[in-house]
Amino acid sequence: MTEKLKVATVSLAGCFGCHMSFLDIDERILDLTAVAEFDRSPFTDIKHCGPCDLGLIEGGLCNSENVHTLREFRRACKLLVAVGACAINGNIPALRNPIPLKECLEESYVHGMGIENPQIPNDPELPLLLNQVRPIHEVVKVDYFLPGCPPSADAIWKFLTDLIAGREPSLPYPLIRYD
Amino acid sequence: MNESLEIARNPERLRRVAIDPVSRVEGHGKVTLLLDEHNHIRQVRLHIVEFRGFERFIQGRPYWELPVLVQRLCGICPVSHHLAAGKAIDQLVGVDRLTPSAEKLRRLLHLGQLLQSHALHFFHLASPDLLFGFDSEAGKRNIVGVLEKYPEIGLKGVKMRKYGQEVIRAITGKRVHGSGAIPGGMNKALTKEERDGLLIDLEDVLRWAEEAVALIRQVYLANPDYHHHFAFIRSSFLGLIQDDGALEFYHGGLRAKDEFGRPLFDHIDYREYGDYLHEEVKSWSYMKFPFIVSLGRENGWYRVGPLARINNCDFIATPLAEAARQDFMAQGDGGPVHSTLAFHWARMIEALHCAEGIKELLHDPDILGRDLVVQGEKTTEGIGVIEAPRGTLFHHYRINEEDIVTEANLIVSTTSNNQAMNESIRQVAMRYLDGRELTEGLLNRIEVAIRAYDPCLSCATHALGKMPLWLDLVDADGIVLDHLTRNSDGETAH
Ligand code: SF4
């Protein structure tokens, strides 16, 4: 038997919807696991990425930990894919970009309704927030971009099957859309 | 209880162990343990590092965007956010009663959501622990392992989830982040073909849901003492309830019971939630700590979600789920069931109720109705509350005369379980980890306790080491894009 394709996935500043769309391949997961295996992913208990053929990144960058994880993936994965609008351009979370970060934090933890013990959380265990949400290609080289919020399961499937078959991945026009 | 484990004295002298990231949960969190030289546990915390600032940046947007904007909070239960916001904007346009068809469509949509989310959680995320054991081989402890070893169980989970997603797609056009709710109603009727399509697999889904209840019951009762005491804590419970006391997911009053099952409040109009619930901020987590005001900050924390709903309701209106509920409640000896792992059992009873509820609605002639929108007099405040898969979800908005959002408050379900999750993992740490050499299997027990709550933690985290914190954001060509530091006040500087 030939070696299985090693795939790692991660959610950065996203909503997990792109991972859900991935699971929306439904029973086709059996075809996938016949030729591929998961390394680090929210679906496995592998906490750090080993050498992989393919890394799927959901979400943009909103804190230092996202940046750290993204770089770990870039080092470990031969091909890196920006999956969905958040990874590609920041998407809805980037709506906070015109607003000073302090104002966002104060809204949630100081001035909000029904707040007691108002304070902005501050602990060495909490990663540093970036002042703006950034797309991942600003920080690492990205090999492919899968558009959509989320990309449909069919788009993800087409991409994966092209890649597994050794074809240059390409999406037919109807699969390229945001909504 | 284990509150002393929240804050250790002299933390700098203790050894830090982190579970990072917590895996097989939706989103990203981490646990830190502080131990002394004899491996005694001194501090245990679940940190949520999620901060996206939705409450602030949706201000300035027109109110009708809310249902499609805020569902991007969560790709697992987007429908719950979509509908909570939808209910709030109904109030903004002065509508307090939808047409029967619109309301039933929303209910059907919501049941599809609960079914797929519960199936995802139980089969894809939690079942590996329950089927293989808490300290089984880490590399196999996942859904792929389940599909290999127990293909029938794994595939059933995949198909149950698929069915829930198909219900959502039929109504909103997409499985994730579709659109349905508009001010005062719904934007599209269900066609007969779509309805008939959903009827095809329905009987199978009902059978699978019954089998899922039987499966978790059997697993739980195979080792009842162990499962009962694992991560055991006592708490109050909160959720929505129907007027007659029936289990309710879409619309009702607020009910809270104390740890003995005695009512704290009942049938409260949820627009008054601010009088009953407040939120405390703690320095070490971006997730706030809500509590019941009358019980105070220390003792007012509570649990929400499947276990809370099953404990709180007087009955379930569909027969199969009601029989399963009665059987389940026997675990509580006349009072509420407190066992943390019983969450899984309660979740599958709810999944069964969803399948039964979907069947009822698909056979209801109103579901194909085309009268979908009503209009009213505009107001400036809207509060929508719903039972999301993980528990009670609050959306509260104010707008100005230009229809622009000026204020927003969101209490998401997982937040309400914040203190409970922390209590549960402290219990596990004291019972199984204290004084021992920590192994992967022991640490997984902490995650097993967290997974029972099915938390949705979206976003990322990692240990950063010591202050001061600094970061250079360098692009792929090595050019510095930004440079950040955090000073001792927690303020970020550039
Ligand atoms: S692209 Fe859309 S679905 Fe994917 S993580 Fe972002 S908001 Fe969620």
3-state SS class at B439: coil
Q: Find where tokens 């501050």 sit.
A: A122
Using a pLDDT cut of 70, give the percent of chain B over it: 90
Residue closest by Cα to atom 7 of ligand 1: B72
The ligand 1 atom nearest the CA atom of A11: 5
Q: Which amino acid is at B172?
A: T
Nearest to B125 by CA among B209, B23, B24: B24
Range A122-141 average pLDDT: 88
pLDDT of the residue at B457: 59
Distance in angstroms (rounded) separating the CA atoms of residues B408 and B57 = 9
Class of domain A5-96+131-170: alpha beta
Nearest to A57 by CA among A17, A23, A8: A8
3-state SS class at A149: coil
N- to C-terminal Cα separation, chain A:
40
A-chain residues near B120 (CB < 8 A): 20, 23
Please return the burial class of B477, using the count of CB atoms within 10 Å of its CB with bins 0-12, 13-18 and 19+.
Answer: exposed
pLDDT of the residue at B477: 57
Q: Which residues pair with B182 in a beta bridge?
A: B185
Using a pLDDT cut of 90, give the percent of chain A over it: 68
Could you give the angle at the alpha carbon of B480 between the alpha carbons of B477 and B482, nearest 5°? 140
ipTM of the complex: 0.94
The pair of structure tokens assigned to A154 is 């069919």
The pair of structure tokens assigned to B479 is 């050019």
Distance in angstroms (rounded) separating the CA atoms of residues A121 and B298 = 19
Residue A40 is given by DSSP the state: S
Report whether residue A15 contacts ligand 1, using a CB cutoff of 6 Å: yes
Please return the burial class of B46, using the count of CB atoms within 10 Å of its CB with bins 0-12, 13-18 and 19+.
Answer: buried
B-chain residues near A14 (CB < 8 A): 75, 458-459
pLDDT of the residue at B469: 36
Pick out chain B residues at pLDDT < 70: 1-3, 26-28, 49-50, 457-494
C-alpha distance from residue B312 to each of B235, B330, B335, B393 (Å): 12, 14, 10, 16
As a 3-state breakdown, chain B gives helix, strand, coil percent values, each rounded to 5, of: 45, 20, 35
In sequence order, the 6+-apart residues with CB closer than 8 A to the CB of B196 are: none
Q: Which residues pair with B55 in a beta bridge?
A: none
Contact between B48 and B412 (Cβ < 8 Å): no
C-alpha distance from residue A111 to each of A102, A119, A126, B14, B410 (Å): 12, 10, 21, 35, 13
Report whether residue A92 contacts ligand 1, using a CB cutoff of 6 Å: yes
Q: Which amino acid is at B203?
A: E
Contact A140 B476 (CB under 8 A): yes
Distance in angstroms (rounded) separating the CA atoms of residues B455 and B271 = 25
3-state SS class at B76: coil
pLDDT of the residue at B484: 47
Contact between B5 and B426 (Cβ < 8 Å): yes
B78 and chain A in contact, CB less than 8 A: yes
Contact B475 A139 (CB under 8 A): yes
φ, ψ (nearest 5 deg) of residue B86? -60, -45
N- to C-terminal Cα separation, chain B:
43
B-chain residues near A177 (CB < 8 A): none
Instruction: Count the helices and strands in chain A (H runs, E runs).
Output: 6, 8
Which member of A124, A131, A149 has the closest CB to residue B466? A124
Beta strand pairing status for B391-399 and B405-411?
A: antiparallel
Beta strand pairing status for A144-146 and B41-47?
A: unpaired
pLDDT tens digits, residue range B23-60?
Answer: 777 666 788 888 888 888 888 888 876 677 788 889 99
Residues in chain B: 494
Interface of B with A in 266-295 (CB under 8 A): 274, 277-286, 288
Contact between B88 and B69 (Cβ < 8 Å): no
pLDDT of the residue at B478: 52
Distance in angstroms (rounded) separating the CA atoms of residues B145 and A44 = 10
| Optimal mutation site among B22, B69, B72, B450, interface A, most CBs of chain A within 10 A | B72
Q: Find out whether the peptide bond into A172 is cis, omega within 30 degrees of 0.
A: no
Q: Find where tokens 């965007």 sit.
A: B65
The pair of structure tokens assigned to A149 is 């919020």
Please report which confidence band the pLDDT of residue A54 belongs to, taking 50, 70 and 90 as the band edges: very high
pLDDT of the residue at A37: 93
Could you give the angle at the alpha carbon of A43 between the alpha carbons of B452 and B433, nearest 5°? 50
Please report the domains of chain B, with CATH numbers, ordered by start residue: 3-52+420-493 (no CATH), 55-416 (1.10.645.10)
pLDDT of the residue at B471: 45
Q: Which residues pair with B181 in a beta bridge?
A: B186
Contact between B318 and B353 (Cβ < 8 Å): yes
Task: Encode B120-143: b = buried (16+ Cβ within 10 Å), e = exposed.
Answer: bbbbbbbbbbbbbebbeebeebbb
